[in-house]
Amino acid sequence: MSRIGSAPVDLPSGVDVKVDGKDVTVKGPKGSISLTVRREIDVEVDGRIVKVMNIRPARDRQARAYHGLFRSLIQNMVVGVTEGYAKKLEIHGVGYQAKQQGQQLVFNLGFANDIVLDIPSSVEVKLDNPTNLTISGCDKQQVGEFAARIRKLRPPEPYKGKGVKYSDEIIRRKAGKAFGSS
């Protein structure tokens, strides 16, 4: 039995979980998220506790893996609708910047043309200044995916450190070519 999957998920006040067959919906002050669980997993709400149960035999390795996975996903949903998730990105480089135009982000990252990205409806973007932005929302997957898409536009390079990086990311710098005659 999965150790993570067997731990119950505690529900804080203000959070409501509804189970309809294999669909689990979590509603809270920051929003609502829904998830469809696999057939090997059963979810039960008992008061202010959510229990995730494996309904397959204990020898089924795949079902045991899903047991822990879906318990973690439901826990992330509960945290998302109460506290939310955020990723901070920094843009480094001369002339590199971002600006918001309605529901789009426009990046100037040293290419011939500006890069335009549509902001998903489940994500909020806040530009602290043209080189620092914060992506937040209640869905951990959507926040992380959008931050990764932005970082992928111009990943930080190791020689000058130019590019888009996470604020807590450390870029290992390399020495350039050493010129000289021997």
Domain boundaries, the chain: 3-82, 85-166
Q: What are phi and psi of 90, to 5 degrees?
A: -120, 140
Type of residue at 101: Q
* Topology alike, domains 3-82 and 85-166: yes
Q: What is the pLDDT of residues 16-74, one digit of tens each?
A: 999 998 999 999 999 999 999 998 888 999 989 999 988 876 677 888 888 889 999 99
**Residue 149 · residue 120 · CB < 8 Å:** no
Q: Which pLDDT score is estimated for 101?
A: 94
Provide the β-strand partners of residue 36.
23
| Complete edge-to-edge strand list for the sheet that includes strand 104-108 | 97-101, 104-108, 115-118
**Residue 151 · residue 88 · CB < 8 Å:** no
Cα 158 from Cα 172, distance rounded (Å): 6
Q: Which pLDDT score is estimated for 181?
A: 58
Q: Which pLDDT score is estimated for 92?
A: 95
Q: How confident is the model at residue 145 (pLDDT cuts 50, 70, 90)?
A: very high
**Residue 171 · residue 158 · CB < 8 Å:** yes
Which listed CATH number (3.40.50.2300, 3.90.930.60, 3.90.930.12, 2.40.420.20) goes with 3-82?
3.90.930.12
Answering whether pTM is above 0.85, one says yes
CATH topology of domain 85-166: Outer Surface Protein A; domain 3 (3.90.930)
